[in-house]
Chains A and B, each alone.
Chain A
Amino acid sequence: MALNVNELMGPMLEAVTGVFGKRWPKMRDYAEGETRKLAESLAQIAQLRVSQEISEDEARVLLEMQKNTARAVLLAVEGMGLLLAEQAINAALAAVRGTVNGALRFPLL
């Protein structure tokens, strides 16, 4: 039996949308919260320098460290994005598993 792409598309899209609807808000909340922390840290470095509690050299080191911290946070966000993509793909495949395997008469998925 031939597979109809249009028939597969509906359940797959629905599954992908479901995963994004459930997971995306959590990821967005994490990214927003961490961005705020980075901004607060940057403001603290500036304030410490203005009040002469740290030297210009120390401010530069803290800024270099801040860049690394921001990268570490973005790597977490990137990883969460990959997990989101993985879950969406797997949900899409699961949504049409029965249809595809039935049509092929062997368990491809």
Chain B
Amino acid sequence: LAVWIAALLLIAGCRSIQLVSDYDEATDRGAAELQRKMSDFFSRLQTFPRGAEELRFDRSREFYRQAAVDLNALRVRAGGIRMNLLTLEQLELLEENLAQVVLTHKGCIEGLSALTPEQAEARQQAIRQQGVDLTMDCRVSHGAVADLPDRGDQVISPGFVANAWRQFDQGLGAVMAFELAKRRGENARQR
């Protein structure tokens, strides 16, 4: 403990230390706004019966495009703030989840269970590297199980929607909870 105290005094040399970025209101608001849009989108999908025309991918593509733009904007902003790597990583994980929803909606995951662990890992890598694939096609290079054209008529299942909605709520909630904790940390620093 004595060593710890001495080291602390030596390295401090200033009034306080900071280990995490300051609170960012734009990130907090952006995450809250995206969470609201996601809830609106998923709740609307849940009002339609299984197989309905409204559940087709081409009907939802514009929403996915906007959500991908919003997430990318949040990620770019988070990347420009010092000591903000944890938030940046959170947003990257949410982007991966959006890419998974889009692939599922296009019916690009059929046969996933038959992939070897190596193939499954390669698929995850493709999603990480390529992000959300907003084309109408399934592309292995973007995380699809097979290359398939013209997937606009594919429909999403209400069961899948129910759990995906829950996951975005929790993931975006984690971004907001961390921002609020940063605000409390910032207030403590100023005292």
Interchain CA distance A81-B9 in the complex, whole Å: 22
Partner of B9, one of A37, A56, A100: A100
Once the chains bind, are A65 and B16 in contact (CB under 8 Å)?
A: no
A45-B163, A57-B110 given as contacts; is B178 within 8 A of A8 (CB)? no
Q: Mark A70-103, 1 if CB is under 8 A from B, else 0.
A: 0111011011101101110110111010001000
Q: Which residues of B contact A54 (CB under 8 A)?
A: 157, 159-160, 163
Q: In the complex, how many angstroms separate the beta carbon of A81 from the nearest chain B beta carbon?
A: 10
A53-B157, A108-B13 given as contacts; is B112 within 8 A of A68 (CB)? no
Residue of B nearest to A100 (CB): B9
Q: Which residues of A contact B16 (CB under 8 A)?
A: 90, 93-94
DSSP class of B's interface residues: helix, strand, loop or mixed?
helix
Once the chains bind, are B167 and A69 in contact (CB under 8 Å)?
A: yes
Once the chains bind, are B166 and A90 in contact (CB under 8 Å)?
A: no
Q: In the complex, how many angstroms separate the beta carbon of A79 from the nearest chain B beta carbon?
A: 5
Interchain CA distance A92-B15 in the complex, whole Å: 11
Chain B residue total in the interface (Cβ 8 A)? 54
Residue of B nearest to A54 (CB): B159
Q: Mark B158-191, 1 if CB is under 8 A from A, else 0.
A: 1110111011001100110110011011001100
Once the chains bind, are A72 and B90 in contact (CB under 8 Å)?
A: yes
Once the chains bind, are A58 and B111 in contact (CB under 8 Å)?
A: no
Once the chains bind, are B1 and A9 in contact (CB under 8 Å)?
A: yes
Once the chains bind, are A89 and B8 in contact (CB under 8 Å)?
A: yes
A68-B93, A90-B17 given as contacts; is B159 within 8 A of A73 (CB)? no
Once the chains bind, are A53 and B158 in contact (CB under 8 Å)?
A: yes
Q: Which residues of A contact B86 (CB under 8 A)?
A: 75-76, 78-79, 82
Q: Which residues of B contact A37 (CB under 8 A)?
A: 166, 170
Q: Which residues of A contact B17 (CB under 8 A)?
A: 86, 89-90, 93
The verdict on A17 contacting chain B, using a C-beta distance below 8 Å, is no
> Which 6 residue pairs of A and B lie closest in terms of their CB atoms, listed nearest first?
A53-B159, A83-B185, A76-B178, A57-B112, A68-B93, A76-B174
Q: Which B residues are closer than 8 A to A by beta carbons?
A: 1-2, 5-6, 8-9, 12-20, 86-87, 89-90, 93-94, 96-97, 100-101, 103-104, 109-113, 124, 157-160, 162-164, 166-167, 170-171, 174-175, 177-178, 181-182, 184-185, 188-189
Q: Which A residues are closer than 8 A to B by beta carbons?
A: 5, 8-9, 12, 30, 34, 37-38, 40-41, 44-45, 48, 51, 53-58, 60-62, 64-66, 68-69, 71-73, 75-76, 78-80, 82-83, 85-87, 89-90, 92-94, 96, 100, 108-109
